Chain A
């Protein structure tokens, strides 16, 4: 079975400092992995996706993630946090014939002024 584990339920950073949101996956084969962001009372927005092409994936708003098979990780990073980045972030794996999504438990990112 495939699953994802988000290692931190809450992360706080100061504005202008780097962001690191950690995600580990388990899969019997090469998975498709995604990061989605959810702002308060809003739907989910796709940040980036990995689907077995380049291992370093660049997304919107300056975010990127690196697929590391040896570490079974897909951590999300951003060099410099902005106040508007404060939101909940979900690491997601796609599986099944209908590509059902399995979500991690989420990481709440707080950006301090």
Chain B
């Protein structure tokens, strides 16, 4: 069966520091991968998606970037965090033939 992992689970970082969040999927190949952010008291917003290695599409201009160095690995990064980057970051995967996305457990980021 397929599983999706995210780490770290929780992160507290100072403003201006770098960021790297990792998402990996097991039990499938060539998945579509997604990064979402959920700000406090708000719905989820799609940040990036990837249909293959090295292929990244950005949905919203922002302080963040994404990379997909391997088929089942999706990384969310920032060179300098802002206070507004605080939130709950969720990674999701989808098999190309399916409509359904499956979500990871999330990373809670607090920027101070």
Contact = CB atoms under 8 A, between A and B. Distances in A.
A96 to B, nearest CB: 9
Interface in B62-112: 90, 92, 94, 99-106, 108
Interface of B is mostly: strand
Contact of B43 (A32, A34, A94, A103): A103
Nearest to A41: B108
A43 B43 contact: no
Interface residues of A, number: 22
Interface string B40-66: 001111100101000001010000000
Main secondary structure of the interface of A (DSSP, over half): strand
Interface size class of B (residues with CB under 8 A): 20 to 34
Given A46-B100, A49-B99, A106 B32 contact: no
Contact of B46 (A42, A46, A101): A101
Nearest to B59: A100
A43 B49 contact: no
B42 A105 contact: yes
Contacts of A42: 105-106
B105 A32 contact: no
Give the 8 A-B CB pairs with smallest separation, nearest first. A44-B103, A43-B103, A103-B44, A103-B43, A43-B105, A32-B99, A105-B43, A43-B106
Given A46-B100, A98-B51, 18 more contacts: A36-B103, A42-B105, A43-B104, A43-B106, A44-B90, A45-B103, A49-B100, A90-B44, A94-B99, A99-B99, A99-B101, A100-B46, A100-B59, A101-B36, A101-B101, A102-B46, A103-B44, A104-B43
